[in-house]
Amino acid sequence: MPSIVRRSSIQKRKLGRSNLEVSALGFGCMGLSFGFGPATEKKEAIKVIRAAYDAGVTFFDTAETYGPFTNEELVGEALAPVRDKVVIATKFGFKNGIPGQGTDSKPGRIRAVADAALNRLNTEVIDLFYQHRVDPSIPIEDVAGTVKDLIQEGKIKHFGMSEATASDIRRAHAVQLVTALQSEYSLWWREPEKEILSTLEELGIGFVSFSPLGKGFLTGAISDKTEFDKTDFRNILPRFSAQAREANQALVEALRQIAKRKNATKAQITLAWLLAQKPWIIPIPGTTKLHHLEENLGGASVELTADDLKAIHDAISPIDVQGDRYPAQLQSLLNR
């Protein structure tokens, strides 16, 4: 398949002080199987993943919960021909691989998930193994110790965490070096700036930004009139209520004006802004469409000057984003 973006246009970055080098933009595979409506037809999904690789992406993110289980199988099949040239990240941490059933990071469960993921991904080693969410019932030291054993056994290369607090990160890192933290970070969710980014910089841990495009909202493609598929989880998110979407258009309008000045799209400005924050931040936008993939990867080529970044800050900072990330019943689980 021909490249849709020049392969050399996507530079590499290292996750913190580790030796794990990946493309500056990764690819979040979740939406191909889970979360945003019906799963993409397998042949088309494989086409999108391979197009991302052909365009220079070497970092692919999946998890047992996506499907559940089917996304890992998809990623394994799509990347099999280039397995030695890519970094695959997957996750453990939910009971039976289903978020709604709660967290489960018992040592035996972590081992079972690792073995199952190795099989589904059709690989001999998992490059990056994240704890999907911290399990309050299991000491984080025990979790890190279990992953450390898996690393020593050659099943895992690197340990990651997701949506963890600074305290949890420090405690885990003292047992087994944490290579990367994956959490939501974008122009409409800047919570990591309060404490997390400085902690990661101090410890030499990389940051992987999920939902860098605000689950699609920051692209400008979603309005208060947008109707999501009944299986799309955005239907239950307060930030995606019709009222919140209408109120949050101010953010999209600010991005539109900046994008116009830079001859770029809103998605590209959003991704370029994240890349400009720290040299060890890797956004992982996902998509099911080739033209959106090309657009997103173009964000890696947008250079934002200090004046550009100030203009973005000045335009965005006064805007009070409306709506919580998650409904109240999930806050304790997903928004620690």
Catalytic residues: 66
Beta bridge partners of residue 159, listed in sequence order: 129, 178
**Dihedral (Cα; 161, 167, 168, 172), 10-degree rounding:** 90
DSSP 3-state of 321: coil
Q: Give the chain's length.
A: 336
**Dihedral (Cα; 161, 93, 32, 334), 10-degree rounding:** -70
CB 143 within 8 A of CB 109: no
CB 169 within 8 A of CB 136: no
DSSP H or E stretch at residue 37:
none
CB 296 within 8 A of CB 285: yes
Alpha-carbon span 132 to 134, nearest angstrom: 7
Residue partners of 318: CB distance under 8 A and separation at least 6: none
Q: Give which of 25, 5, 4 is closest to 13, Cα–Cα.
A: 25
DSSP 3-state of 98: coil
DSSP 3-state of 95: helix
* Dihedral pair phi/psi, residue 287, rounded to 5°: -165, 160
